Structure 1
């Protein structure tokens, strides 16, 4: 596809590697990729063996080749050269439709390297899994950002937090991502919707014979209390919400009557990062990723119980 005008660094990146950009309108993400990731996005659209995953991945619009240097340092999973990363996949920006998006990247799986990695990298990534929550639980909180309506600022929790905590501290991390910065009933509604979407993804992965290394679940929910209330109301009434093709923008500087805005979604939950994902016909579902999905679902259930007890 033609290169969009006004490409700039992604405004709300909480995980992954540097170099991700967005279009001028903010509706597209341009992510440097290896050929295998581009091929997997194409396969999801065309291969019926991957049909169950289609509702649970970002929309894929094609590829771009960007000029200039590419930093391939610390590419996930395997050994990747800069030349391989000059191609970029163009995807929908999952946070674009939100007024104040709260964003969490959950790294899935107990195995953080693929079969092409060097022995040195395999040993290093095995240690990283042991030293974090990945090996025991199949998840690591890669990073998250949360909007605080009282201060009108974001609190960003970097990837070092997720690498440093133990399994018993994961509920604390989830509570930090789902704080009571919005009314409790609204927060419980968000948690219920995110939980149900995670269950749907778990079911889709159970039906799909793939191996996913260094993949993630991206969770986005509306952090602006008024926008969240409107999104929940629209959902309850079955009304359309803001789609990525709409021309409306969420520019903080624009003086737009809040009531005239089309409501955005309550939350979005999608699988992302497929640089080291492959089909494995006849080998069943990915136990490593399934463990991570199960942990994620239990963490959401725990946060829901916590809020209900406190009510």
Structure 2
């Protein structure tokens, strides 16, 4: 359920991002995720929540947009994000109208708006995050030749070509007092974009999933990792079915996976969920509640996992064109990898 959005609130730079543009923000409590974006992406959010409710269940809750000051107009996404960070205050919140022709988007990614979403990583003690970029082809129809060639090279040189997806980035908690190469001050090992572009190739793609799901030093043993993989599998299979029944095109969109990376907290959350099976849902946010008391109980329930479809700068609903087989190639292969991990021992 979406919460009311304050007209003014302090903002800080979002620290849990693993891929995407710079300039993303969150509020101090971490409940909101603010990302400068184009009118095209806003239009996709509006249309999805209005007309595609099953798909919208797997989008981060859309809470409106922020409009930048007029004198800041015409900035790039990165510039707009930097301007918002500098201000540290949310300007007046407005819901943007859907453009008359959302297909016509400037090839120069400039924006005067930011989309406000519910933060998928909020509520976890130690959120482990994985961003999987989808598609064999990464560029949209309006991309110029240079961009097509650049993106085709990325696809041909990575796991996109064979599997229809790549690891765009990961952030995985390694346990208390963790140290070592790539481990930040908070104990997270950060796998940047070069991990999925250079280190991970077709022959060792399974290693990325294991590095994300099994962290003994953090208390996430084989039993817990496999249970998380099975939970992810159920939701990604559902996403696959929904997209197979819809007509859309989503270039360079991603699947965002989050789960509780503190093994003690994860096991406790799973044990609590086993006593109340209805709470074991994607992000504990899709279940229905009958009254305010039930809602408060749900909000207090410890988080286990979440799966979202994200990044819609080049997405649109396309009646008459059939399912998005480009994105589905990647989703089906993610299903295959998760199925193998959930069933077999390491």
TM-score strictly above 0.5: yes
Structure 1 residues 1-311: aligned runs within 5 Å: 3-47=7-51, 50-67=52-69, 68=72, 70-72=75-77, 80-81=107-108, 84-152=110-178, 153-164=187-198, 165-181=200-216, 182-238=220-276, 262-307=300-345, 310=346
Query: Would the aligned equivalents of 2:107 and 2:142 in 1 still touch at CA under 8 Å?
Result: no
Q: Could you tell me how far apart the structure 2 residues matched to 1:65 and 1:203 are?
A: 35
Whether the aligned pair in 2 keeps the contact of 1:79 and 1:117 (CA below 8 Å) is no
Q: Deviations over 1:131-188 (max 9, x none)?
A: 1111221101000011012535110000111011321221011111112431322222
Q: Separation in 1 of the partners of 2:344 and 2:203?
A: 15
Contact 1:102 1:222 in 2 (8 A): yes
Query: How many residues get paired?
Result: 286
| Alpha-carbon shift at residue 235 of structure 1 (Å) | 1.5
Structure 1: runs of 5 or more not aligned: 245-260
Deviations 1:52-84 (A, max 9, x none): 2021110000000235584447xxxx86435x3
CA contact (8 A) 2:107 2:143 kept: no
Structure-2 change in CA distance of 1:262 and 1:52 (3 Å): closer
Relative contact order, CA 8 A, sep 6+: which one is greater? 1
Q: Structure 2: give runs of 5+ residues left out of the alignment.
A: 79-104, 179-186, 286-298
Deviation of the 1:236 alpha carbon:
1.0
Q: Secondary structure at 1:44's aligned position in 2? A: helix
* Whole-angstrom distance in 1 between the partners of 2:122 and 2:35: 15
Shift of 1:121: 1.0
| TM-score, scaled to structure 2 | 0.77
Q: Does the aligned pair in 1 maintain the 2:139–2:147 contact within 8 Å?
A: yes
CA displacement at 1:284 relative to structure 2: 1.0
Relative distance call for 1:289 and 1:243 in structure 2 (3 A) is: closer
**Which secondary structure does the structure 1 equivalent of 2:308 belong to?**
strand
Q: Give the CA RMSD over aligned residues.
A: 2.3
TM-score (normalizing by structure 1): 0.85
Tell me by how many angstroms 1:306 deviates. 4.0
